[in-house]
Amino acid sequence: MVLRIDSQKNKQVLQELLRAHQYCRKFGIISDLVILNEQAFSYAQETQNAINSLCETYRNYSIDSNGKRQIFTLKLDMISTKSFHTLLSSARFGLHAINGSLSEQLTINQYTEINPKIHPLNYLIKNFGNTTH
């Protein structure tokens, strides 16, 4: 998963995604989460500090059985264009914080039945926050 974020004002989307990532882990769905800070250079460090602060708590819970972390933060100005395109093309899905909340970006047609055995991540995301689940 990749989340592109370009402003501290969109940190709620990051918080939602971190909670969803932790929620999926409870069901055995392990994935890497990359937070890509696209803030302009002059404000990048301030935004990066805010991102790191939010991620630090969740990082402690996202270490796999081999001791590897699952949450990574990057600054766009520190990676090459080729690396940027590789990152986006290799992600199962990508989100951009400017496009709204997590639920707005991951809206799944309510009439679509999702088989949890075939699409476990989509099933969990569709039911994220559902207290009857």
Structure-block tokens of residue 100: 């709204």
Name every residue whose Cβ is closer than 8 Å to that of residue 124 and which is 6 or more positions away in sequence: 23, 24, 27, 29, 116
Domain ranges of the chain: 2-100
In this prediction, residue 133 carries a pLDDT of 44
- Residues 3, 14 contacting (CB under 8 angstroms): yes
- H/E segment holding residue 4: strand 2-5
CA distance to 24, 70, 80, per residue, from 120 (Å)? 9, 18, 33
Does domain 2-100 fall under CATH 3.30.1370? My reply is no
In this prediction, residue 12 carries a pLDDT of 92
In this prediction, residue 100 carries a pLDDT of 87
- Percent of the chain whose pLDDT exceeds 70: 71
Whether the CA torsion 50, 35, 44, 12 is positive or negative: it is negative
In this prediction, residue 129 carries a pLDDT of 58
On the question of pLDDT at 128 being above 80, the answer is no
Structure-block tokens of residue 5: 């974020």
- Percent of the chain whose pLDDT exceeds 90: 23
CA distance to 3, 37, 93, 107, per residue, from 72 (Å)? 10, 11, 15, 25
Any bridge partners for residue 95, and if so which? 3
pTM for the whole structure: 0.73
- 């800070």: which residue's tokens? 37
